[in-house]
Amino acid sequence: MNNGKGFFITGTDTGVGKTLVSCALLHAFAAGDNTVIGMKPVAAGCENGKWMDVELLVAASNVMAPREQVNPYALIPPLAPHIAAKQAGIEIEVEVIYQAYLALQSMAEIVVVEGAGGFLVPFSDRFDSSDLAQKLGLPVILVVGLRLGCINHALLTAQAVRAAGLTLAGWVANSIDPQMLKMEENIKALEQRLECPLIAYLPYMQPVDELRSSELLDITGLIKN
Ligand SMILES: Nc1ncnc2c1ncn2[C@@H]1O[C@H](COP(=O)(O)OP(=O)(O)OP(=O)(O)O)[C@@H](O)[C@H]1O
Ligand SMILES: [Mg+2]
């Protein structure tokens, strides 16, 4: 058995760096001698027979787990999950994801769960990403994709996380737009308002580098207790 730690990684939007940060966290925890598994409960968008987020999370994990537990729902079209599920004639069920998470938790000390899209993305007519985070009861890490408009998206997400009764364990400022103006001022504005630790500033990288990113993360506040 283990101490059952987990984190739920959400973002200000789709494509803001949740997978990069999830993988970097897995590497950072693993470097601290922890057993780690990445989980992508719902992946939508299959490329050449692969779901890239899942591939990357599996590669960054140091415990191998059954695919159906790492990724209980793999949807082919790159659509909003509840629409892709409806198209496939299935309903995404919170209990299935919960049971898969419990199984992973019994296999590793830390499970990093990557959400889909942003925090309120629906999974079915019955539940959404925030309900899932609540059911898992995990501290949330917010990835802010630094671009114009991100301050509002970040503050709305932080409000939704706290309204769900969850802890915002920290946030990551991820530079996804090399042309962004006044980046430092934006980060400062968020630091003043998010009321949780800044885990890292990740620069714009080409190509992206998970290991370099992992070294930039300050995980001390995440692993104490
Ligand atoms: N700091 C960065 N510098 C350069 N490119 C980045 C950076 N962070 C992320 N990217 C690139 O942006 C794209 C989206 O990143 P990523 O897949 O991590 O986002 P995501 O939030 O997980 O998306 P999704 O909602 O599809 O799961 C990827 O091509 C990734 O390589
Ligand atoms: Mg992703």
Label residue 1 by pLDDT band (50, 70, 90). Answer: very low
Number of separate domains in the chain: 1
What is the model's pLDDT at position 80? 96
Domain that holds residue 128: 5-223
CB-ligand 1 contact for 201 (6 Å cutoff): no
218 has pLDDT over 80: yes
Q: How far is CA 45 from CA 13, 24, 116, 206, in A?
A: 16, 22, 11, 23
Mean pLDDT of the chain: 96
2 has pLDDT over 60: no
Using the mean position of ligand 2's atoms as its centre, give its distance from the Cα of residue 80 in Å.
13
What is the model's pLDDT at position 41? 98
190 has pLDDT over 80: yes
Q: What percent of the chain has pLDDT over 70?
A: 98
H helical segments located in 4-141: 18-31, 52-60, 67-70, 81-88, 94-105, 129-136
A 10 A CB-CB count for 147 gives 18
CATH number for 153 = 3.40.50.300
Mutate to test the pocket of ligand 1, among 12, 18, 20, 26 (most ligand atoms within 8 A of CB): 20
What is the model's pLDDT at position 223? 85
pLDDT tens digits for 168-185? 999 999 999 999 999 999
Q: Would you please indicate which residues are annotated as catalytic (active-site) residues?
A: 40
164 has pLDDT over 70: yes
- Is the peptide bond prior to 207 cis by the omega test (within 30 degrees of 0)? yes
